Structure 1
Amino acid sequence: MGRFARVPGLVVSGSIRSTRRRGAGSLLVHSAIGWAQSHGFAMARLWVGHEEEAAIALYQRCGFVFTGVGRPLEGRPSIVIREMRRALA
């Protein structure tokens, strides 16, 4: 987890296809959420590609919601990333 304006962010670049749908992503996200809560953070955020349906579904299952904020991915402007946040309190 990194800190940006006192909001921890989760950075995951992808996963190996053969490891998907086995609970590792949920475990990782919930572990990061627990860390942020134990360090007194009230909110977590992440950015996800608009076409990353599996990742979006995972984050939504973990309580993240879209904020309505989106922007082109730095260095790859054809890819739009969207912000998601989750209250930790």
Structure 2
Amino acid sequence: TPDSLEIMAGGVNKGVALAALLERIDVKAEECLAFGDNLNDVEMLSLAGEAHYMHNAHPEMAERLGRGRQIGHHGEAGVATLLRERFGL
């Protein structure tokens, strides 16, 4: 929600975690799809080759991300719809 507060150690974010995972499984960032809906997803989405954010994402998501594709609402299976479209399922 727009009025939430997250506290974590410096240098800890989903982008750092994704980078470590991609290195471990030997996948390039540009080959990765990521989905997010809140500002704590910006670093992860900035790293991923295909960044997707939900229609109901935080109002500042598009501005902070600077790229990516807005997809459907999470309550309307936005991620599943995109995956079916992307992979021809």
The TM-score bracket by the shorter chain reads 0.3 to 0.5
More helix by share: 2
Relative contact order, higher structure (CA 8 A, sep 6+): 1
- TM-score under structure 2 length normalisation: 0.37
**Higher strand fraction (1 or 2):** 1
